[in-house]
Amino acid sequence: MGPLHITDRHELSYRDQHLDVDFEHKTALLDAKPLGLTRKEYDLLALLVQNAGEVVTRETLLERVWGYSNQIRTRTLDVHIRRLRKKLGQHNSAYIETIFSVGYRFQPFRAPRVVQRLAPAMALGA
Amino acid sequence: MGPLHITDRHELSYRDQHLDVDFEHKTALLDAKPLGLTRKEYDLLALLVQNAGEVVTRETLLERVWGYSNQIRTRTLDVHIRRLRKKLGQHNSAYIETIFSVGYRFQPFRAPRVVQRLAPAMALGA
DNA sequence: TACACCTTTTACAAAACTTTTACAAGACCC
DNA sequence: GGGTCTTGTAAAAGTTTTGTAAAAGGTGTA
């Protein structure tokens, strides 16, 4: 049906302290209660969650969730992001970050923020 | 002998005791915390860092980061340098040198040399 | 058809970012 | 020191991107 085929990672679900996304059944729970996402909202959240910790560009989102080729000017992504955040309630801003002029990034709840660990310094006097 | 060995090669990242620049993800960490650079700030820092130890002329910076041809009079480079330095915090002046009338130079962090005093010079009230 | 629900667009507000402006401060040369 | 050019800085102005509410459009179903 949808233009979306998520196979980047083969996780069956995502779970953290508050959010629970079941990729098999395409459902999402927040604090154990159904989020009641629409199709597009779910697709959007799923794509972000499956790339948790990494920026997903607007272009990618529009292509994978909407099937839009580039160069299409629309605000529908913004509107869906807004509704997603609304349904995520208190945690919304912690979950979905805006990367200005690039896209959005889903951050796991209270996740370690460091993408790449600092290696033990090669410092002389360390 | 610095931690960085850049010639013409495309390094994936730069790293020293405090600063960590990921050219792939276009992110920068200072003491393991995201630096929160804007696009232009990142581009500017990246270009300087990729030429660490060498002077990058104003002309080059304006051309590569801004796409400005020569002979354009603008202060935007200065302003961006200032904001970069601000975000680099304490280490800013050590990191970004001004080469008067020429340009700027990024210098890899060097651990402050421990001065070996022969006498027990812990004289605070000197 | 009428209705309920979902999606997209529209129009404007707000926020983020960039550039310019104006002047202060510093560097260089005589 | 005085003159001149360059850089530093703060703030204003300008531009672009994102947020938001509401309306309009679309789809499926009873």
For residue range A106-124, what is the model confidence (pLDDT) as tens digits? Answer: 999 874 444 443 343 333 3
Q: Residue A89 — very low, low, confident or very high, per pLDDT cuts 50/70/90?
A: confident
What lies within 8 Å, CB to CB, of A11 at 6+ separation is A23, A50
pLDDT at B113: 58
With tokens 């529009």, the residue in question is A62
* Count of C-beta atoms within a 10 Å radius of residue B122: 6
A39 touches strand C (CB under 7 A): yes
Q: Out of A56-60, B9-13, B42-46, which region has the weakest mean confidence (pLDDT)?
A: B9-13
Residue A94 has pLDDT above 90, yes or no: no
Q: How far apart are CA A122 and CA B108, in angstroms?
A: 14
Q: Residue A5 — very low, low, confident or very high, per pLDDT cuts 50/70/90?
A: very low
The residue-averaged pLDDT of A93-112 equals: 87
Q: How far apart are CA B42 and CA B40, in angstroms?
A: 5
Q: In Å, how far from its chain's centre is CA A12? A: 15
pLDDT at B115: 56
Q: How far apart are CA A95 and CA A5, in angstroms?
A: 23
Residue A65 has pLDDT above 80, yes or no: yes
Query: Per CB distance under 8 Å, which residues of A are interface residues toward B?
Result: 54-55, 100-101, 113-116, 118-119, 121-125
pTM for the predicted model, two decimal places: 0.81
Scanning residues 28 through 47 of protein chain B, those with a beta carbon under 7 Å from any atom of strand C turn out to be 38-41
Over residues B93-113, the pLDDT tens digits come to 789 999 999 999 999 988 665
Residue B126 has pLDDT above 80, yes or no: no
pLDDT at B9: 58
> Are A115 and B22 inside 8 Å of each other by CB?
yes
The residue-averaged pLDDT of A11-26 equals: 93
Residue B73 has pLDDT above 70, yes or no: yes
Q: How far apart are CA A97 and CA A79, in angstroms?
A: 15
Three-class DSSP category at B123: coil
Q: Out of A20-24, A46-50, A69-73, B39-43, which region has the weakest mean confidence (pLDDT)?
A: A69-73
CA B79 / C1′ D3 distance in Å: 26
A38 touches strand D (CB under 7 A): no
Q: Is B115 exposed, middle or buried (0-12, 13-18, 19+ CB in 10 A)?
A: exposed
Task: Give the CA radius of gyration of chain B.
Answer: 17
CA A74 / C1′ C10 distance in Å: 11
Strand stretches in A9-69, DSSP E: 13-15, 19-22, 27-30, 33-34, 55-57
Using CB atoms, which residue from A101, A113, A121 is nearest to B34? Answer: A113
With tokens 């309630």, the residue in question is A89
- B35: which 2 tokens? 């630096």
B62 touches strand C (CB under 7 A): no
Q: Of residues B116 and A18, which shows the higher confidence score?
A: A18
DSSP alpha helices (H): ranges in B1-126? 39-49, 58-66, 76-88, 92-95
What residues of chain B lie within 8 A of the CB of A55, using their CB? 25
Closest to B79 in 3D by CA, of B62, B91, B63: B62
Residue A126 has pLDDT above 80, yes or no: no
pLDDT at A13: 95
Three-class DSSP category at B71: coil
Q: Residue B114 — very low, low, confident or very high, per pLDDT cuts 50/70/90?
A: low
